[in-house]
């Protein structure tokens, strides 16, 4: 019998309290999760932004590989298609050995068009509902940007960039679900700030828990309890990294490498894109001060601040009275320096989050 998602109206999780006290316990409703998939797992990938294309075509959903706790490969789905910014795509992954090996790890491998992942959620026959948030990519040093995706009743989350064509360093990532989706009273978040930070740092450093890949077409994972398998000679794994799980590659190494080298960067398109927010939880200062943030220029109407992402400089908004120069003019939608617009042409794409924040 297929379980009815309606039998569990809400799912409490505590996966972000290590990073930010305001992002601790979250109660998630049914529609946050994909529907049950009786042949395996249904994996939802929710996107904050795409890679900057001006046609609003969205980015590409990642390839999804599933692994059991011991590292056994149990299923894969590739080239599922595009996903629009601010929406999600559900990827149905069939089990190789149905019902025999519960899901423990998932490997997400990027495709050609970059996406910034706000969260992933998975529903399987043999496991509880599980969630991973893009804030962890930010915290652990990955490329990131603000996200306007609502998580439960919370705003202010971040998304994590992955891409296969070289625009972003991260080509994929693996998640050990049990370390991120904790039920109430299960492994509580430490109250002491130092202990909390130590726990979060441990998650970032423990490769089987969360690992960001930078190699082409990632298809292997680190596992906590490895099984004996033949090593992949094309993966260049260091001998000390003996705990691995192996899934099949989607394409030859040489083909994937050529696609990364020859793809034109989308950085110029990002410079023609402006995001406008109306909540102080989307800090323009944090965005500008981060070495790993990447994305469009960012205007925060609530705090009256602007971040020019091309050079990571921070500016005030012109107020028409005391501040009229060397500031961002919200009417012109342009930075004004020494009385002159710093833009040769208007933004080609403006994403306005103020109606939703």
For 169-216, write each residue's pLDDT tens digit.
Answer: 999 999 998 887 654 334 556 667 787 778 888 888 999 999 999 999
User: Pick from 176, 145, 84, 174: which is nearest to 270 by CA?
Assistant: 145
Q: What is the pLDDT of residue 350?
A: 92
Identify the band that residue 224 occupies on the pLDDT scale cut at 50, 70 and 90: confident
Task: List the end-to-end C-alpha distance of the chain, in Å, as a whole number.
Answer: 41
Identify the band that residue 27 occupies on the pLDDT scale cut at 50, 70 and 90: low
Q: What is the pLDDT of residue 2?
A: 27
- Residue 269 tokens read as 């398109």
Q: Return the H-helix or E-strand segment holding 138.
A: helix 135-139
Q: Does 7 score more than 90 pLDDT?
A: no
- Residue 339 tokens read as 């009385």
Tens of pLDDT, residue by residue over 47-85, are 988 765 434 446 899 999 999 988 999 999 999 889 988
Q: What is the pLDDT of residue 8?
A: 40
Residue predicted with more confidence, 234 or 88: 88
Identify the band that residue 235 occupies on the pLDDT scale cut at 50, 70 and 90: very low
Place of tokens 């070495």: 291
Handedness of CA 162, 63, 50, 11 (dihedral sign): negative
Q: What is the pLDDT of residue 179?
A: 81
Give the pLDDT mean for 326-350. 94
Residue predicted with more confidence, 59 or 328: 328
DSSP state of 135: H
Percent residues over pLDDT 90 in the chain: 44
Percent residues over pLDDT 70 in the chain: 74
Q: Does 3 score more than 50 pLDDT?
A: no
Lowest-confidence region among 30-34, 42-46, 81-85, 271-275? 30-34
Q: Per residue, what are the HEC states of 18-29?
A: CCCHHHCEEEEE
- Residue 170 tokens read as 């991260």
Give the pLDDT mean for 281-300. 95
User: Pick from 348, 271, 337, 278: which is nearest to 308 by CA?
Assistant: 271
Residues facing residue 121 across a β-bridge: 44, 131
Give the pLDDT mean for 342-356. 88
Which pTM does this prediction carry? 0.82
Lowest-confidence region among 142-146, 153-157, 160-164? 153-157
Lowest-confidence region among 15-19, 329-333, 345-349? 15-19
Give dist(CA 135, CA 119) in Å, integer.
8
- Residue 41 tokens read as 């797992």
Cβ atoms 66, 95 nearer than 8 A: yes
Calculate Rg over the CA atoms of the chain: 21
Q: Does 256 score more than 50 pLDDT?
A: no
Give dist(CA 295, CA 312) in Å, integer.
11
User: Pick from 91, 110, 216, 93: which is nearest to 160 by CA?
Assistant: 110
CB 268: neighbour CB atoms within 10 A? Answer: 10
């Amino acid at each position: 019998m297929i379980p009815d998602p309606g039998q569990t109206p809400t799912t409490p999780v505590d996966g972000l309290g290590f990073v930010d006290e305001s992002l601790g316990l979250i109660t998630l409703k049914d529609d946050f999760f994909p529907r049950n998939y009786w042949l395996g797992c249904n994996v939802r990938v929710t996107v904050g932004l795409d890679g900057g294309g001006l046609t609003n075509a969205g980015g590409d959903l990642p390839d999804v590989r599933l692994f059991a706790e011991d590292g056994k490969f149990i299923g894969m789905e590739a080239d599922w298609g595009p996903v629009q910014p601010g929406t999600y795509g559900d990827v149905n992954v069939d089990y190789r050995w149905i019902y025999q090996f519960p899901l423990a790890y998932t490997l997400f491998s990027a495709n050609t068009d970059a996406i910034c992942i706000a969260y992933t959620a998975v529903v399987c026959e043999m496991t509880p509902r599980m969630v991973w948030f893009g804030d962890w990519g930010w915290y652990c040093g990955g490329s990131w940007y603000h996200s306007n995706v609502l998580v439960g009743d919370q705003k202010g989350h971040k998304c994590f960039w992955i891409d296969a064509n070289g625009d972003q360093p991260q080509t994929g990532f693996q998640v050990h679900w049990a370390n991120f989706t904790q039920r109430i009273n299960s492994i509580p978040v430490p109250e002491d700030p130092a202990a909390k930070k130590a726990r979060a740092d441990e998650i970032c450093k423990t490769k089987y828990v969360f690992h960001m890949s930078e190699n082409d077409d990632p298809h292997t994972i680190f596992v906590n309890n490895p099984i004996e398998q033949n090593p992949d000679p094309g993966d260049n794994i260091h001998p000390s990294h003996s705990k691995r799980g192996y899934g099949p590659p989607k394409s030859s190494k040489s083909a994937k490498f050529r696609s990364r080298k020859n793809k034109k960067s989308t950085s110029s398109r990002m410079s023609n894109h402006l995001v406008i927010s109306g909540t102080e939880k989307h800090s323009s200062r944090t965005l500008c001060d981060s070495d790993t943030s990447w994305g469009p220029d960012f205007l925060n109407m609530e705090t009256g601040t602007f971040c020019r992402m091309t050079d990571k400089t921070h500016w005030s908004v012109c107020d028409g009275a005391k501040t009229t120069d060397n500031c961002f003019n919200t009417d012109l939608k342009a930075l004004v320096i020494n009385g002159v617009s710093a833009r040769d042409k208007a933004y080609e794409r403006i994403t306005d989050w103020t109606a939703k924040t």
